[in-house]
Copies of this chain bind each other. A is one copy, B any other.
């Protein structure tokens, strides 16, 4: 789960990390009022989950009311790399002499957290990592002990930071790590952490992504989730409890189990089609869940045909077949052609139950995918 910049900054500030004065605005008037209150210059920053907002025109530095009004008017409502901007953060523009990077994430390769510091803040850190990996000091953290104080210092000194700010940056890194640990962070980043002429440090941007599996014990962060959701279909998937990812193609895909669904997507591509989505109904799905899945995929206007691929382990073919039948029987006209393949537990029973007036049944994964690709092509043409 990703927090917006303004949400992340609230969480960071509460933990004691210095952040600039700022206010959230949803209208031009709110933005201008905020700018007046904070005092110019201010930055007006689109609140969307997009990297490189600055380059894409989502951040503007303004010096007076006229500029503020113009910038807010332009940014609010704009489409930023496919995301609609409905909120901006109006923020005191910090006068800085230096920008550094601090971050914490899980290094899954070693199964341990890693804290990172770089003197090359303010730019895309992933590019820095590729061009000049040594410019990022990395300190793996023993999750049994948490981050030792010396590790924060070591990262900061190894990154070559000035001794004058080293102590403050180390202490912010420690706070960031502790926060990441306590709040079940996935990634926590401050980029840039600005250094002012008098060696103050202040978090000018903030990223805080939370482990979705841990939201049960972070109820206040879980409440922010709705506010952060952007896509209607993805919000619907959250509601239904599906693992769902929307893609660009026109073949809708429903299946059970992440690996099998991914494989189904890959086969759609392999046979010349284009997958419209990833939708995993999980294990042991009953009729209602099956109907919800069909509803999801039918709601996607890009979808021209649907392949329903189930390999039953806990999931029973007969239950799925009944679910499909009853979901489709509601329609006078089936909205999109549905191709079904059932295997595994109670697959034969399921095949018999399926109403072949409503769906096309195929015996193998390969046949089902090919049929769906062909059907989608036909609708599309």
Q: A: which residues have CB within 8 A of B?
A: 142, 144-145
Contact = CB atoms under 8 A, between A and B. Distances in A.
The interface residues of chain A, by DSSP majority, are classed as loop
Contacts of A142: 144
A144 B145 CA distance: 5
Contacts of A145: 144
A144 B144 CA distance: 5
Contacts of A144: 142, 144-145
3 contacts: A142-B144, A144-B144, A144-B145
A328 B351 CA distance: 107
A145 B142 CA distance: 11
A78 to B, nearest CB: 49
A63 to B, nearest CB: 49
A142 B143 CA distance: 13
Nearest to A145: B144
3 shortest A-B CB distances, which residue pairs? Answer: A144-B144, A144-B145, A142-B144
A145 B146 CA distance: 10
A112 to B, nearest CB: 13
A252 to B, nearest CB: 44
A314 to B, nearest CB: 27
A142 B145 CA distance: 11
Nearest to A142: B144
A144 B142 CA distance: 9
Nearest to A144: B144
A145 B145 CA distance: 7
A51 to B, nearest CB: 36
A142 B142 CA distance: 14
A120 to B, nearest CB: 34
A236 B302 CA distance: 85
A144 to B, nearest CB: 4
A320 B21 CA distance: 61
